[in-house]
Structures are given as structure tokens and as C-alpha cells.
Chain A
Amino acid sequence: MKTLRDVRVGDTVKVVRLHGEGAVKRRIMDMGITKGVEVFVRKLAPLGDPVEINVRGYELSLRKADAEMIEVE
């Protein structure tokens, strides 16, 4: 399974499904990362984590551990 964590900086991917449950998952979805949406991985923070992505036209940062919950293709 390929997750958002594995995506290289500069690539655009499509979200297939969200794994996990509860607060973090809901929060990720509330912020617009839902099935079928395109996500552009813009950069890594200087210390390697978190990542900055562009989704639905705005910039969002999330931790790699949470990015692992997002299955992409």
C-alpha cells in the first residue's frame, strides 16, 4: 500500500482511502483530504518532518506519522 508518506516532494497524487479512526482521521478529512482529491507534496520541514502539501488550493502541514494513514495512488 502506498501512502502519502512515501510520496516524493514535488509529486502530485490522488487519495484512494483514509485509514485509522477517530480525531486525527476526522481532522484530516475536515481539512479536505478526502477520497479522490489530488494532493501535491510541496516540501519537507527543515528537520525532515512534518510535510507541507497543497490540497484544494491551500497549504496544509501534517506529520509523517499521520500521512501514513492516507492511502494514495
Chain B
Amino acid sequence: MEGQIRIALAGNPNSGKTTLFNKLTGANQFVGNWPGVTVEKKEGKLIVDKDVVLTDLPGIYSLSPYTLEEVVARNYLIEENPDAILNIVDATNLERNLYLTTQLVELGIPVVIALNMMDLVKKAGDHINVKELSKQLGCKIVEISALKGDGVKEAAQAAIEAAQSGKTIPQHSFSGPVEHALAHIEEVTVHDLPEERQRWYAIKLFERDEKVMEGLKLSAETKAHIEKDIAAAEKEMDDDAESIITNERYVYIGQMLKGIYKKKGTGKLSISDKIDKIVTNRWLALPIFAIVMFLVYALSMGKSIADGGISIGTWLTDLTNDVLGEAWLTEGSRAILEGWGAAPWLVGLISDGILAGVGAVLGFVPQMLVLFLMLCLLEDCGYMARIAFIMDRIFRRFGLSGKSFIPMLVGTGCGIPGVMASRTIENERDRRMTIMTTTFMPCGAKMPIIGLIAGALFGGSTWIAVSAYFIGVAAIVLSGIMLKKTKMFAGDPAPFVMELPSYHLPAWGNVLRGTWERGWSFIKRAGTVIVISSIVIWFLTSFGVVNGHFGMVENLYEDDAIVTDEYVATVADRMDIPEDEVEPMDDSILARVAQPVSVVFKPLGFGDWKPTAATVTGLVAKEEVVANFGIMYAYDDQEGEEELEENGDQIWDRVAEDFNAFSNGHGRLAAFAFMIFNLLCAPCFAAIGAIKREMNSRKWTWFAIAYQCVFAWIAAFIVWQIGRVFAGGLSVVGLILALLLLGFVCWMLFRPYKESQKLTVK
């Protein structure tokens, strides 16, 4: 906007940047995403001056073209051209923090440094001559404590003044050969660009930064020309251009700090070092990790307090579901609407469709908030980085991050917070892979499916539940290995060179704010997907054509003129059930569609309309699968029978009989294939909503869902077809196809690949 001052906040990760941003902007924040990527973008108006917009750049160590965050940050600085940069520098980690500063000052934008954590430096007995440092760097330095809020206003004021003055900063020089090459490059390539920008471009061209080269559209001739200059400097310095620049920056910082930074040099271990000695100790690390993970799980997803567990999250979610979801939203709204005399279809749409969907979203929120609170705590105190350190060895083989452990663990409770927990993974590739595979873990809602299959066909064997977890883990491992070699994933490099930040007490303001932001973004983004799909499924199950009349099946069935005895006989015949078991739902669009769709599942052994309809309704919530079996196998709890058990105990016989019937006696195999498919295929709509939120891309969301469905189909197909070799009744064509698919999977697993070195994002 006209007349507005724009300031960019830049700094290393763990430098207190988020704390400073919160202190400077308070509640005036807008959270979004940087265009086209999943990196979060935060902006806010300064408390001290509402006309100043502060943009929080991603935490970065450098302005290289290799990580998404760095590319996002430098694109913003170059293209949006903010009026000033407020660079937060961690005084306890001066050398590495100033490395970014040396790059920021080259952009030709005024820079002000907020020197954070000076209190800790003084406490350690070290001394930094801030005046001299300011003189050497040529920019204003304000000492602050972001945590306590000291000096924060002054830093903002200094940044505003710098923006108004527009004064850029004198830049340090590199060694002779480099400067010589830079001068040449400036002359032949960028002399028509704004003067203050020329040096930045020249340095990037010297580094052979491909993204900058592309952007400038240099002719081949010019490229060849500057290449000669670069090569000459490289030869003289005996190193590659990129390394020369990096090296010289650190050399420059080292020399500058010689007289400025005096370390007491006691060599005593800091508190953080002492904690780390225990927490990542060779022998204690894994047990401590297990305890922390147990607590995270037990408190958020575990057994509810009401049932004697310790989970606050589950307790609150149960409460929300029962009171808010069932009693108020669904039943309450129904009572009110019926009181107004609203048409039955409208009552159905609002109460069972929209509000039930809203209830489903809200029900998850408390559980999710408790989980996010703990994840934010782990992140803020510094333990999250240690998790990656401890688990990296295992997970990196599958293209995942050590931090993927948390989403997977949480996923055994519920896939939605599992997917949302992937947000702690910095690397975009690892994060996407985690999002795609997390829901393979059997979540709580899939347990009844497992219980039903185990009970109905396997005599309640516990091995079925064990195999479900095994299948989930195997699906993650196999998918990880296959996917990391595909074009979509092999594109970006994923170096694991990670800072292990010092431990510190969590800043509660940050933690609570982070918790709320994540929870709110779930309500907002995932909510829409869930509500819309709930309406669609409600429509499919409530409406249909009955004897030539379209409408709500339940209403139509009350009309004896439409539902004649002959008609009931035809439905019974079509559905292959006794006449007294014909239900309105048998005429719903879903039931009608399930019949033709079941063809898809024929090669998996359960190509019957009942398991098909159950699978489709599983998209609403996986609990619905068993509930639906109850309806389809005509278990009616209204006629004096007790309510259907969660595992569907009462219908076990009917399920077993039916599975054996349509699979020619291979009921067990068919049921197992059914279970595999339902465990691995697309998760419920709520989880799909979470996937969409975290992927922040339609393409990737569809890719994830399509992949899960195809993977589930192939897995069930292979099991059913090859299983029949041993069970008898094999189909030769099916077996050949299964072996071919198996071969394809093996090829995907074992084909060689090379890790990429280039970042493909612009």
C-alpha cells in the first residue's frame, strides 16, 4: 500500500525470531503461505507504528539456492524490495549468525541488527564490544532480549528510521582475485540494474547460482565471458567459486570478531550441555525418547481420564462429541427445526449433513490442541531436533525424517493429528512423504474393522490385529523406498546437516500461540473439506429412486402406494436378502452405485455390494464401516435387541456366511483382502482434509489419495490372487497379473537412483 513502510524480519532458526516477531506485532498478525509452497508466511503491523508492516521471513542460515526457505526469503527480498531488513542475531552464536548478515547487507537494502540474548553472553562472563561491531559492520545494532521484551521497541524504531533514510550499508570486500572477477562480472552483466543491487547479482553470478542466472536471462556469449573470469579466480584460489565466497565470509567474520568478542574460555559445560549429555546419551537416549513419546501419546490420544487413563485430549474430545456434537448440534438442531415445521429433507440436510459434519470437525479440536501443545513444547525447548538426531538412522532409508516418528505414532491413535504433526518436519520432501504415509498406520477407528474380520472369520485371533500393524508399517517402509525414487520425490536434495539448538525453558507465549495457530488452521481448512463431503455422503445415503419416484428414501418407504409388496420383492431379489429385511437404505443412491462399483473389488475377492458400500462409507469415518455392516446385515437394535457392539459381535455369523458365499468358500482370504484394502486406502474425509491442509496443494493432495488407493488395491490384489494358490481355486490370469505387479513393486524398490543436488522449486 501507498505510504506504508515494509520491513522484513530475517534471521537464523532458533535465534528468537518468532519471539521477537510476536513481541513486535502482538495480535496484529496474518498467517498465510508463501505463494505456491508450504512454507508459512506471517505478516503483522508493528505495535509501535501501525503503518509499518513487518514480514517474518523463514528462519534461514544463508541465501543459497538450495533450500526452499532460503529461496523463498531471497525471492521476497529481491522481488518485493522491502524498505529495510531487521536482522535478528543470536549473540551466543555470533559467528554463524553474522554469516547471514554478510549476505543480507549485499542486497542494497538498509539493515538494522537486533542483537538478541546479550544477557546470556554477559551471564557466561563473555564480552562483546557492540559499539565496535556496529562500526565494523557499518549498521546500527540494538541490544535486545526478545524473551523479556527489552530493547524490542528501540529495535523497531531503528528499523523504521533506517527504512526512512534509505541508507544502505558499506560492504566488505573479498580477496583480490575475487574482487577482480566481481568487477568484471558487474561490468558485462548487470551495469543496467540499480546500482545498490549490482554487487549482490555479481556475487551470485560468481557463485554460478543457477536460479539467478535463469532470472537474468544472460546470453550464452556473456555466460562464456564471465565463466572465464570465474575459472581464473578458481584457479588462483584453488577452490570452487561457491566455496571461495563462503570461506571468505567466515574469514572476514573471524577477523572482525578478534578484537570484539572476548570469551572467558573457562571450558565449563553449560546447563544445556549437561542436559544433552544425559538426553542423547548412548544408552539413555532411547529409553528417554520412549518415555517422552509415551507421554505425548498417552496425554493426547490415549485412554481418557474418564476411563482411568491420563489423556486430557481424549477426554475433552469425547465430551465435545457427546455433548456438542450429538446432543446440541445434531439432536438439538433437529428439535428446533422440526419445531419450526421445516421440511424433513431440510432437517436432514442441516442436522445430519452439515451440523454432523461440523460436529465431527469440532470433536477433534480438543485432542488436537493438547497434542499441538506438547509438540510446540518439545519444539520450543529444543528436544524436537534431538528426536531427528536419534531416529534419523532408521527413517532416512525410507525417505523420511527422524521426526516422522511422531506423526506415525500419533497416527495409531488418529490419522488427522498425525498428519498435522508432520508440520514439525522442515524438509519439504520428508514432510510430503510423511503426510502420504502416516495414515497407513491403523488408527483407532480402524480397530473395529480389524475386530470384525478377526471375530467373524478368524475365531478372534489376535494375530489379525498384530498383522494389521505389521501391514501398516510395511506399507510405510515400502512406500517410502518406492516413492523416494520417483520423479516427484527424487527432485529435491535433502541434506541432513542440522543445528542442535541449546535447550531452554519454553516461552509460553510462543507455545500457546503456535498451538492455537495450528488448531485454527485445521478448523478452517480441513473443516471445509469435511463439511462438504459429509453433505455429499449424507445425500447419497438418504436419497434414491424408489419404484420410479425420486426423493428421500425414508419418506418414500412410508408410502404404501409406492412401496408395494411386489416392489419389496424385487428389491429383496436385487439385494439378495429376505423380503422382511428390505430397508429404505437399500434404495439409496449409495446402494445402487455400490452394485456396479463392486466390480472394482471383484479381483480383490470382495466384489459384493455390501463390503463395497461399507468401504465407501468408510470415507466418512472408518467407524462407519462396521456400523454399516450392521445395517446391511439387518441387525436392528430398535427391535428389542441390544445395541450393536463396536466390533459387531452380533453379526459375525452373518458376515462370515456372506463372505464365504460370495467368495466361493474363500471367506477368510476375501475378508483379509477386505481388511488390507480398508486399512491402506484413502483415509476418512477428515484426514483427507488434514492432508489437503498440510500439502497446501491440490495436485499433491490428489496424488496422495490416489497413491494410497492404488497401493491398497495392489496389496489386496496380490494377497487374494496369490493366497488362492494355497487355498485352492486359483485364477491363472489373476496369478500372472499378481506376479507381474509383485515384480513391478520389487523393481520400484530395488532400482538404483541418485540423490538430486538441485532444488526444483523456483
From 54 to 70 in chain A, residues with beta carbon under 8 angstroms from any chain B beta carbon are 56-63, 66
Contacting chain A: which of B148-156, B243-251, B588-596? B243-251
A7 within 8 A of B: no
State how many angstroms separate the Cβ of B265 from the closest Cβ of chain A. 11
Residues of A within 8 A of B285 (CB): 45-46
Residues of A within 8 A of B239 (CB): 35
Known: A27-B66, A34-B247. A52 touches B280 (CB 8 A): yes
Known: A31-B61, A32-B250, A46-B282. A26 touches B95 (CB 8 A): no
Residues of A within 8 A of B499 (CB): 31, 58-61
Interface size class of B (residues with CB under 8 A): 35 or more
Residues of B within 8 A of A44 (CB): 282
B171 within 8 A of A: no
| Central interface residue in B93, B246, B385, by most chain A CB within 10 Å | B246
Report the bound CA distance from A43 to B276 in whole Å.
10
With CB as the reference atom, state the residue of chain B lying closest to A17. B239
Residues of A within 8 A of B93 (CB): 56-58
A22 within 8 A of B: yes
From 33 to 58 in chain A, residues with beta carbon under 8 angstroms from any chain B beta carbon are 34-35, 37, 43-50, 52, 56-58
State how many angstroms separate the Cβ of B120 from the closest Cβ of chain A. 12
Pair A22/B389 contact, Cβ less than 8 Å:
no
Interface string of B46-77 (1 = CB under 8 A from A): 00000000000000011010110000000000
Report the bound CA distance from A27 to B62 in whole Å.
9
With CB as the reference atom, state the residue of chain A lying closest to B60. A30
Pair A56/B95 contact, Cβ less than 8 Å:
yes
| Central interface residue in B286, B390, B757, by most chain A CB within 10 Å | B757
Pair A27/B246 contact, Cβ less than 8 Å:
no
Residues of A within 8 A of B280 (CB): 43, 45-46, 52
Report the bound CA distance from A50 to B499 in whole Å.
12
Pair A29/B243 contact, Cβ less than 8 Å:
yes
A1 within 8 A of B: no
Pair B497/A66 contact, Cβ less than 8 Å:
yes
Interface size class of A (residues with CB under 8 A): 20 to 34
Known: A26-B64, A27-B64, A30-B61. A62 touches B498 (CB 8 A): yes
Q: Is the interface of A mostly helix, strand, loop or mixed?
A: mixed
Residues of A within 8 A of B250 (CB): 32, 34, 37
Interface string of B221-258 (1 = CB under 8 A from A): 00000000000000000011011001100110000000
Tell which of B67, B390, B759 touches A45, judged by Cβ atoms closer than 8 Å. B390
State how many angstroms separate the Cβ of B514 from the closest Cβ of chain A. 23
Pair A26/B389 contact, Cβ less than 8 Å:
no
Tell which of A21, A31, A58 touches B497, judged by Cβ atoms closer than 8 Å. A31
Interface string of A3-24 (1 = CB under 8 A from B): 0000000000000001001111
Residues of B within 8 A of A61 (CB): 385, 389, 496-500
Residues of B within 8 A of A66 (CB): 495-497
Residues of A within 8 A of B495 (CB): 23-24, 27-28, 66
State how many angstroms separate the Cβ of A18 from the closest Cβ of chain B. 6
Known: A44-B282, A61-B389. A21 touches B496 (CB 8 A): no
Pair A60/B95 contact, Cβ less than 8 Å:
no
B331 within 8 A of A: no
Report the bound CA distance from A49 to B495 in whole Å.
14
State how many angstroms separate the Cβ of A32 from the closest Cβ of chain B. 5
Pair A57/B393 contact, Cβ less than 8 Å:
no
State how many angstroms separate the Cβ of B197 from the closest Cβ of chain A. 22
State how many angstroms separate the Cβ of B762 from the closest Cβ of chain A. 16
Known: A29-B243, A61-B500. A47 touches B393 (CB 8 A): yes
Pair A63/B392 contact, Cβ less than 8 Å:
yes
With CB as the reference atom, state the residue of chain A lying closest to B63. A30
B394 within 8 A of A: yes
Pair A50/B496 contact, Cβ less than 8 Å:
yes
Tell which of B61, B240, B758 touches A23, judged by Cβ atoms closer than 8 Å. B758
Report the bound CA distance from A44 to B280 in whole Å.
9
With CB as the reference atom, state the residue of chain A lying closest to B500. A59
State how many angstroms separate the Cβ of B239 from the closest Cβ of chain A. 8
Report the bound CA distance from A59 to B385 in whole Å.
11
Pair B286/A46 contact, Cβ less than 8 Å:
yes
Tell which of B96, B286, B396, B493 touches A24, judged by Cβ atoms closer than 8 Å. B493
With CB as the reference atom, state the residue of chain A lying closest to B248. A34
Residues of B within 8 A of A59 (CB): 276, 499-502
Known: A22-B757, A60-B497. A32 touches B247 (CB 8 A): no
Tell which of A24, A29, A32, A47 touches B95, judged by Cβ atoms closer than 8 Å. A32
Pair B500/A62 contact, Cβ less than 8 Å:
no
Pair A57/B64 contact, Cβ less than 8 Å:
no
With CB as the reference atom, state the residue of chain A lying closest to B94. A57
With CB as the reference atom, state the residue of chain A lying closest to B272. A59
Pair B389/A45 contact, Cβ less than 8 Å:
yes
Residues of A within 8 A of B383 (CB): none
B99 within 8 A of A: yes
Pair B95/A48 contact, Cβ less than 8 Å:
no
Pair B497/A27 contact, Cβ less than 8 Å:
yes
Report the bound CA distance from A37 to B758 in whole Å.
27
Pair B243/A22 contact, Cβ less than 8 Å:
no
Report the bound CA distance from A43 to B243 in whole Å.
27
Pair A21/B757 contact, Cβ less than 8 Å:
yes
Pair B242/A52 contact, Cβ less than 8 Å:
no
Residues of B within 8 A of A30 (CB): 61-62, 64, 99, 246
Report the bound CA distance from A23 to B239 in whole Å.
16
Report the bound CA distance from A3 to B674 in whole Å.
53
Pair A47/B390 contact, Cβ less than 8 Å:
yes
Given contacts A35-B247, A56-B93, A66-B496, 14 further A-B contacts (CB under 8 A): A21-B240, A22-B758, A24-B493, A24-B757, A27-B66, A31-B61, A31-B96, A32-B95, A32-B99, A48-B393, A52-B389, A57-B95, A59-B500, A61-B389
Please give me the 4 A-B residue pairs with the lowest Cβ-Cβ distance, nearest first.
A22-B757, A23-B493, A30-B62, A59-B500
B: residues with CB less than 8 A from A are 61-62, 64, 66-67, 92-96, 99, 239-240, 242-243, 246-247, 250-251, 276, 280-283, 285-286, 385, 389-390, 392-394, 396, 493, 495-502, 757-759
| A–B Cβ pairs within 8 angstroms, 27 of them | A22-B758, A23-B495, A24-B493, A24-B495, A25-B243, A27-B497, A31-B61, A31-B96, A31-B497, A34-B243, A34-B246, A34-B247, A43-B280, A44-B282, A46-B286, A47-B390, A49-B392, A50-B392, A50-B496, A56-B96, A57-B92, A58-B502, A61-B385, A61-B497, A61-B499, A63-B392, A66-B496
A: residues with CB less than 8 A from B are 18, 21-32, 34-35, 37, 43-50, 52, 56-63, 66
